[in-house]
Amino acid sequence: MRQHQTRFTVPTQRKGLIEITREVAAWLAETGIETGLVTLLCRHTSASLLINENAASAVPRDTLRWLDRIAPEGPHYEHDDEGPDDMPAHLRSVLTGASLSLPVGDGRLLLGTWQGIFLAEHRAHPHRREIVAHVIGE
């Protein structure tokens, strides 16, 4: 078994979903791993990772609206150290998750036809988000 690890920095502008599938796939191709498992970790508590449809532009918009309804901003949170979007961002991250595990076959991510990997930025202001990628396999 071989292993490789890297870190990606993803600049964000505001709340939104940023597709990172190409970056992860390009790195995987460089490793030469044909069969294995990729693990991705978002090293933040107010951003997250998710797999979602990457073909219909309405899907990210609907996803963000749903997250806004589930964890709305407002004065009802005790934790607001960094502003009114602070605690809702943490809740959205809990809902969507900080890590993903993805199978690798024939040197490629074995995602479905319409699946993409997204960084979800849950804060209103720009950030630089770091993602750790690790692959193990042959």
* pLDDT given for residue 80 in this prediction: 87
How many percent of the chain have pLDDT more than 70? 100
Q: Which of 82, 2, 9 is nearest to 42 (CA)?
A: 9
Q: Structural domain of residue 97, as residue ranges?
A: 2-137
Beta bridge partners of 53: 115
Tally of domains within the chain:
1
CATH of the domain at 114: 2.60.120.460
In whole numbers, what is the pLDDT of the chain averaged over residues? 97
> What burial class does residue 114 get, using C-beta atoms within 10 Å of its C-beta: 0-12 exposed, 13-18 middle, 19+ buried?
exposed
20 is written with which tokens? 């990172």
Mean pLDDT to the nearest integer, 98-111: 98
**Predicted TM-score of the model (pTM):** 0.95
**Tens digits of residue pLDDT in 5-63:** 999 999 999 999 999 999 999 999 999 999 999 999 999 999 999 999 999 999 999 99
> Are the beta carbons of 135 and 36 closer than 8 angstroms?
yes
